[in-house]
Amino acid sequence: MASLGVNIDHIANVRQARRTVEPDPVRCALLAELGGADGITVHLREDRRHIQDRDVELLRATVRTRLNLEMAATAEMEAIALRVRPDMVTLVPERREEVTTEGGLDVAGQRDGLAAMVGRLMEAGIGVSLFVDPDDAQLEACRHCGARWVELHTGAYAEAAWGEQPFQLARITEATAIARGLGLRVNAGHGLTYHNVEPIAAIEGMEELNIGHTIVARALLVGLQEAVRQMRALVQNPRRDPLFGDRQP
């Protein structure tokens, strides 16, 4: 049964639209936890477009579940992680001009440098997850780096046309089995919604889904605590193939 990490980046987006103090993601994290979140995820971007350093520091002091810090694999972010000590760091690719994360981290292309950073973070007692595409070579490189976790990028699945979703679901299902065979624990996220999440949540061995944008969007209609409660109900008790009817992936 998968757990739910709630990403609160887009609450901070609303605040940053006016460079003001509300809505405060720190206060909203409490509501997400009251709604049943198993963890809180934030992406501290180099351009600070939404989550701020102050948010990460206060969340460390206030989150009662687990704090997962998404960050680029840079010296600046590593220093922040070693100071703040989140429960987990998820290393993600980052480009200033991107609207949102566009793909998985190229672990295979920077194995040795990442292995050193992973080692330092784990030495400090911080769990490390690598955000990668569902790709065999990337998963093998993740094992080489010493990370215990991978987070499979579900963007291609989420953005796929209806007829292509079974293929993308099969890719993630297969990657999950391969990752577990390599001794890695498996999370997933990016672009998941109330309408596409269940087949991902139902994958054998899927441990946690990190979901943000769709929860914040629904929160505008029903409130954050209720939006989290509704998503956790889907993640915890997914119908295997509500999207595909009698189609087989």
Ligand X SMILES: CC(=O)[C@@H](O)[C@H](O)COP(=O)(O)O
Ligand Y SMILES: NCC(=O)COP(=O)(O)O
Residues that bind ligand Y (CB under 6 A): 7, 41, 151, 189-192, 210-214
Cβ of residue 217: shortest distance to ligand X, in angstroms?
13
Among 33, 78, 190, 198, which one carries the catalytic annotation? 190
Using CB under 6 A as the binding rule, whether residue 70 contacts ligand X is answered as yes
Of 138, 211, 129, 128, which Cα lies nearest the Cα of 172?
138
- Tell the residue number behind the tokens 């955000």, with chain if given: 131
Strands (E), the chain: 3-7, 39-43, 67-71, 88-91, 127-132, 149-153, 185-189, 206-211
> How far does Cα 175 stand from its chain's mean position?
16
Is 70 considered catalytic here?
yes
Q: Any contact of residue 131 with ligand X (CB under 6 A)? A: yes
Choose among ligand X, ligand Y, none what residue 165 binds, the Cβ cut-off being 5 to 8 Å by kind: none
Q: Which residue's CB atom is positioned nearest to ligand X?
A: 100
Q: Least CB distance from residue 101 to ligand Y, whole Å?
A: 7
Complex with ligand X: residue 106 or 241, whichever CB lies closer: 106
Residue 112 CA to chain centroid, in angstroms? 24
Q: Rounded to the nearest whole angstrom, what is the least distance from the CB of residue 42 to ligand Y in the complex?
A: 8
Q: How many whole angstroms separate alpha carbon 113 and alpha carbon 111?
A: 6
Rule CB under 6 A: say whether 133 interacts with ligand X.
no
Q: Total number of residues binding ligand X (CB under 6 A)?
A: 11
Least distance in angstroms from the C-beta of 45 to ligand X: 6
43 is catalytic: yes
Residue 80: which of 93, 95, 67 has the closest Cα? Answer: 67
For the question of residue 144 being annotated catalytic, the response is no
Q: Counting contacts by CB under 6 A, is residue 214 touching ligand X? A: no
Distance CA 32, CA 51 (A): 16
25 touches 44 (CB < 8 A) = no
State which of positions 40-59 bind ligand X (CB under 6 A): 43, 45
Q: Which of 221, 203, 204, 224 lies closest to 212 in space, CA to CA?
A: 224
Residues engaged in binding ligand X (CB under 6 A)? 7, 9, 43, 45, 70, 92, 100-101, 131, 189-190
| Catalytic annotation, residues | 43, 70, 190
